[in-house]
Structure 1
Amino acid sequence: MIEADLSRTIERLESTRDEVRSILAGRGGVDVPAGTGTISDRLSGSERSLMLVYSRLYDEAAMGDMGLMVRARPDDEDLGGTFDALTTDADEATRHRLVESFAATMAAHLAEHDWLSAPEGRTLQSAEMTREVFVETIQELYNEAQLDVLGRASVRAQELLEGHFQNAGTDPNQVNSVIPRAAGS
């Protein structure tokens, strides 16, 4: 019984990994996940790939929230395109600008969508599998400079949130009203 359950779990995990690899290699059958077609023109190439992977990891409600986050960006903001164009030899000033832009946006999203900090209730896979696929995906999609920016922006977003929690008390409604936002977030 235990062996059969383990075997099914392993098969399911391997299938999910194969599907993710296919998406990342550009062999996926669709450009964006079902239900996100209205935002596809606002996504960079890597963001499209990431949304496809997310659609295999997160439930419909989570994907709906992600669509809202993309729709909230102003039409003229091309942060994703700027990030996609970041080369491994990008200078510190460029990286820092991206870190600050991403951090402000991330902090706003984390404040508005608390499940982003603890996604287990919104995942289709186990927490471990979701984490593994996410890490593998971003390592495949992004270069060293991009990974540096993402890591630093995540830390900075948490700092922004913690600072606002301390300043606003523990009422999340207060925090949502004081988180700095990147343009249009």
Structure 2
Amino acid sequence: MSEEEVQQITAAFLSETKDPVNIILTSVLMGFTNSLWRVSGEGSLGITRAFGEDLWNLIKVGSVMLGEEKDTSTPEKAMEFYAEYLGGYFSIADEIDFTVDNDTLKVQIKGCKLHHFTDYLEAKEVPRSVGCPMALSLIALMEDVTGEPFIMDSLESKDGNSEIVLKAL
């Protein structure tokens, strides 16, 4: 993508985001993830996977601190908690729908509030799969709940709407 597209994404992010702390933190994360990819390429995937694990742990700990009830006994229950906590409590997305089949998780996210971050990464030629906080935390969720390793099969995104497909190895 061109530098003009990067500027358009950045301008859209700044026009929609009013909280200065959110702007600074997102900008730092954009720069860090882009730099990590430029320096380490595919080698940065281990770091971003660890980032996803930390996000999932923060979600679980945060829910306890906020008195939110969580049931992560099955992938379905964990996803219900995830969708309600991030979509409902934190309004990260307008809607989070999912289906779980044996070794596959499909998640549809509508109105993702983090899309400018991943749009920016893609414009900088960083694969969304490297930096999407939702996808990375979903991998950690599935691995934590099932005890099986998961990989990202696909991540499609357009206009703040995404479909993430994870598969067990």
Q: TM-score, normalised by structure 1?
A: 0.38
Greater strand content: 2
Tell which structure's C-alpha radius of gyration is larger: 1
Q: TM-score, normalised by structure 2?
A: 0.41
